[in-house]
Chains A and B, each alone.
Chain A
């Protein structure tokens, strides 16, 4: 009941802001500055049947998610290594700080020197995800129960048992939280990289074209698509991860 009420309230808030948006667009009266939600929806409906629309989604989603996955795998490997060897932690510490503090635009422009426009979003997503998930995995590892680790030592538990019974339950919740943040970041930074790198057939390229042709409707439609894609992939990925967490939590021991 509480959940239904919350959902209704959320729905009402969304409707409220859509009405505000519609009224603002009507008050301004110039499509170039602000299109109404109805116009933006109309543009989106025009885009939907076009094969090019889906190709752009495939192009961008493939690269951004590849960057995310590479970042996720690397962050786990590096966090484990940093936890195991102090020199790895010392070596990585300034790099992670630097990656975290560097503005994404600087990164994109610098990266354009190294890689082609079409690979840019992979590299940028990778670099944006890396420090977030590295930090999350480190936090998870540090939260592992020291008393259980001693127990594992005394009973001489083999490594796979330790990982499954002690390390995974400690790391997965923090990793999940990190993934939720990182997925949003990699979509934002990945598309930003495409807007600057302009690889043919990408969402970023479509956004740029909409900007130079003053097609504000398309700009809004594509932005909406990015938001939906980001939310959908986050939900899908977290659902898969939750299954893994439940498994590590003993439900499928």
Chain B
């Protein structure tokens, strides 16, 4: 079933500031969300994740969400593979090898995979957060600056993996990275 994410007349206002007003948006495939800093991209993604309540308006068609948050949000005591396994349904053991292969392909060596997440570098944590989102069972992917802390070569690998895994899935990826936008070649939704 093809999901269609619909945002209707969405407004988010804080006491002293209005982030966005009367926002209408329909997303049917992978798209990049581009907006100036402070526009409220993270807040919009949080609303779509169900973590924030909008001041007014509605969102529909989100379904199950796979997410990369602004922060990595990995369980610090678990290693990268265990963090991915955490979001998998029962029988996670059967995917362990595949997940490890993904990490190896993504530039994390066996030594890094043995470390708890708290000992990984910023870029390694970001890769783990991204793979967790890709492995989770989801109808919509919401990715907030997923390339933060990655060098250009790793970003290219991440972009390639995203294109390969997402297909025509509904994806909203917030980024300021022009290179990443070009690399992905997805529809760009410019806001603000």
Which residue numbers of A lie inside 8 Å of B, CB to CB? 147-148, 150-151, 153-157, 161, 165-166, 169, 248-250, 253
Contact = CB atoms under 8 A, between A and B. Distances in A.
A249 B77 CA distance: 5
Interface string B75-93: 1011100100011000000
B116 A250 contact: yes
B69 A151 contact: yes
B73 to A, nearest CB: 4
Contacts of A248: 77
Closest 8 pairs (CB-CB, A-B): A250-B77, A249-B77, A151-B73, A155-B87, A250-B78, A165-B75, A154-B49, A147-B73
Nearest to B87: A155
Nearest to B81: A253
Contacts of B116: 249-250
A161 B92 CA distance: 12
B67 interface: yes
Given A147-B71, A161-B86, A253-B82, A155 B77 contact: no
A147 to B, nearest CB: 5
Contacts of B64: 156
Given A147-B73, A169-B77, A250-B116, 4 more contacts: A147-B69, A151-B67, A155-B65, A165-B86
Nearest to A245: B77
A154 B71 contact: no
Name the residue in A148, A150, A153, A155 with the highest tally of chain B Cβ atoms < 10 Å from its Cβ.
A155
A42 B127 CA distance: 67
Given A155-B87, A157-B87, A253-B82, A148 B75 contact: yes
Interface size class on chain B is 20 to 34
A156 B82 CA distance: 16
B53 to A, nearest CB: 14
B152 interface: no
Interface in B14-41: none
Contacts of B67: 151, 154-155
Nearest to B79: A250
Nearest to B133: A155
Contact of B78 (A154, A156, A157, A253): A253
A172 to B, nearest CB: 11
Contact of A166 (B69, B75, B79, B87): B75
Contact of B51 (A154, A161, A169, A253): A154
A161 to B, nearest CB: 6
A249 B78 CA distance: 7
B161 interface: no
Name the residue in B65, B77, B116 with the highest tally of chain A Cβ atoms < 10 Å from its Cβ.
B77
B146 interface: no
B192 to A, nearest CB: 25
Name the residue in A151, A157, A165, A248 with the highest tally of chain B Cβ atoms < 10 Å from its Cβ.
A151
A150 B73 CA distance: 9
23 contacts: A147-B71, A147-B73, A150-B73, A151-B69, A154-B49, A154-B51, A154-B65, A154-B67, A157-B87, A161-B86, A165-B75, A165-B86, A166-B75, A169-B75, A169-B77, A248-B77, A249-B77, A249-B116, A250-B77, A250-B82, A250-B116, A253-B78, A253-B82
Nearest to B142: A154
A253 B116 CA distance: 11
Contact of B50 (A154, A166, A169): A154
B136 interface: yes
A168 to B, nearest CB: 10
Nearest to A169: B77
A165 B132 CA distance: 15
A253 B81 CA distance: 11
